[in-house]
Amino acid sequence: MSAPESTRIGYIGLGNMGAPMAKRLLDRPGGLTVFDTRPEAVAPFTDAGASGAASPAELAQTCTLVSVTVLDDAQVEDVVAGPDGLLSTAQPGTVIAIHSTIADTTAVDLAARCAEHGVELVDAPISGGAPGAKNGTLAVMVGATDEAFAKVLEPFGTWAELIVHAGPVGAGTRMKLARNLLHFISFTAATEAQRLAEAAGLDITELGKVVRHTDAITGGAGAIMWRDNTSPLDPDDGWFPVFSHVRALGEKDLTLALDLGERLGVALPLATRALTDLGPGLGVGSGDTARSRSPRSRSPHGQKEHA
């Protein structure tokens, strides 16, 4: 059963992400209680009709569903299990949702401690940034029991557009870490592309416009993330021709970019790795272009060897 709309929700941590998320809970029938160490962060909520708590412990006295959006593992542990934390007063059946990105082991360990009090902890990290929080279009990846997941669906839906049950406690955080792995490797790749463009005499701000425009159309890296496993594909698999085509285009364009980098004296280590790993990563193996540029076919200085 989902949590009834009459459930009073507590929200702890009213920063750049927490404040807009909590704001979208103000109109829920059950009411909202908030806590933050900064009075100036709490004031807009109490002015709008929410209740303010002096501590997590006080908040847990009246709230059986609590969202936590604080900085790091240490703050999460203090809010949940510290001397004045939620567990000191939480009623059995309370659900504590951690939206902060923490270690998956922290989530699992805290969930075990919560269980000793009859409290369920779910790890529910979010993706979508401050704009997603403001617009109510976040994605949330939930590690929880089926029962706890059912309880958070309705309230999470006030600020999230996509709610994924990733698995048991810890799975939400593991999914968020995989998602952010892609995010920051992509950022690093963007800096490599900027170096190449700058060396070629291009305006990298204009390149940025092109990237943002076309990623909004194609979906960026997410456009290839349709498979349900990462095993090599059978040639009869329907995805095989699709990803073989992606590999062919990618190996061609990566080779052209690497050739440009060599002419301009710009090192492109991520592009070099991508040429090697693209086909196998897609499950279709390396193509002729990647094999021809393998380290065994090149000199120590990166130039092709000629017979």
Give the β-pairing of 65-68 and 9-12.
parallel
pTM for this prediction = 0.87
Cβ contact 73:89 at 8 Å = no
Amino acid, single-letter form, for residue 68: V
Confidence at residue 7, expressed as pLDDT on a 0 to 100 scale: 87
Amino acid, single-letter form, for residue 175: M
Question: Can you give the pLDDT of all 307 residues of the chain as single tens digits?
Answer: 455 667 899 999 999 999 999 999 999 999 999 999 999 999 999 999 999 999 999 999 999 999 999 999 999 999 999 999 999 999 999 999 999 999 999 999 999 999 999 999 999 999 999 999 999 999 999 999 999 999 999 999 999 999 999 999 999 999 999 999 999 999 999 999 999 999 999 999 999 999 999 999 999 999 999 999 999 999 999 999 999 999 999 999 999 999 999 999 999 999 999 999 999 999 999 998 888 876 544 433 344 433 2
Confidence at residue 210, expressed as pLDDT on a 0 to 100 scale: 97
266 phi and psi, to 5 degrees?
-105, 120
Domains and CATH numbers, the chain: 9-168 (3.40.50.720), 176-297 (1.10.1040.10)
Q: Quick one: which of 211, 183, 184, 186 has its CA closest to 197?
A: 211
Confidence at residue 306, expressed as pLDDT on a 0 to 100 scale: 32
9 phi and psi, to 5 degrees?
-100, 140
Q: Point out which residues pair with 298 in neighbouring strands.
A: 304
Helices 239-264 and 269-282: crossing angle in degrees, nearest 10, is 170
Helices 239-264 and 171-199: crossing angle in degrees, nearest 10, is 40
Confidence at residue 295, expressed as pLDDT on a 0 to 100 scale: 57
Extended strands (E) in 100-196: 120-123, 126-127, 138-143, 160-167
Which two tokens mark 122? 């779910």
Residue numbers annotated as active site = 176
Confidence at residue 291, expressed as pLDDT on a 0 to 100 scale: 86
Integer Cα distance of 47 and 277 in angstroms: 55
Extended strands (E) in the chain: 9-12, 32-35, 51-52, 65-68, 95-98, 120-123, 126-127, 138-143, 160-167
Cβ contact 304:269 at 8 Å = no
